[in-house]
Amino acid sequence: MFNLSIGSLYTGQLVRLGAIKPEDKDAFARWSNDSEYLRMLNFDPAIPRPAAYFEEQEKKDDENQRAVKFAIRLLEDDKIIGVTGMWVNWNHQNAWFWIGIGDAEHRSKGYGTDATKLMVSYAFRELGLFRVTLGVFGYNTRARRAYEKAGFTFEGTQREALYREGKRWDMHSMGILRPEWEAMMQAEQEASQEAVR
C-alpha cells in the first residue's frame, strides 16, 4: 500500500489551496464580469455581480455543512487565481466537484490541473470520500483534458443539455473512485522510486 501521508494536503506543484479571505470578494466580482469564466463554470446565465454579493454568498457557504470551498493561490506570491470546491453527500461518501480559474492569463498553464489533483487528494485523504463526480460542457475541452490528467474517467453524456449562442451543447459526466485514485498514486510513487534508482 502506498503512503498517503506523502505530500501536503494543500500544496501542489504550482498552486496551493487556501482559505477564502474577505478581500477575495473583489476578485470574484471582477471575474463575474468575464463571460467566458462564467460560461465555463456553470449553467446559470452570465450575470456580473458586485463584491457584496460574494460576501453574502461566502456567509451562506460557511453555514452549509455540505460545502467545501477553497481559494486557489499561486505558490510564488499567494495571489488568488481561482476558486474550487465540492458539494458533499456525506451519507454516500461522494461529492460533486467544481473549479474556476478567474483571470484569463492564468488559464491553460496547468494551474487548474494542479488544483484539481489537490482537491481529489483532499476528498479521499481528508474527507474519506469514495467518489468524486463532475460535469463538463462539451465546448470546454481544456477542462476535460485537465480532469483526465487528474484521473477522472468519462462516464456519460447528457445530450444537448445546454443552450448557448444559438447552439445546443452536450454535458459530459466524469468521475473518479477512491480505488482508481489509489492505483494512480501507487503508480506515481513507483515511477518516482524507479527514477531515483
DSSP 138: T
C-alpha cell at 106: 492564468
Give the separation between CA 155 and CA 161, rounded to whole angstroms: 16
Query: Which amino acid is it at 149?
Result: K
**Chain mean position to CA 57:** 18
Active-site choice (53, 111, 147, 163): 147
d(CA 32, CA 106): 16
Which of left, alpha, beta for 37 (phi over 0: left; psi -120 to 50: alpha)? alpha
CA distances from 194 to 13, 120, 150, 167 (A): 20, 25, 21, 49
Please choose, from the candidates 66, 57, 65, the residue with its C-alpha nearest in 3D space to the C-alpha of residue 31.
57
Q: Is residue 147 annotated as part of the catalytic site, yes or no?
A: yes
For residue 177, how far is the Cα from the chain centroid? 16
The alpha carbons of the chain give a radius of gyration, in whole angstroms, of 17
Catalytic residues: 147
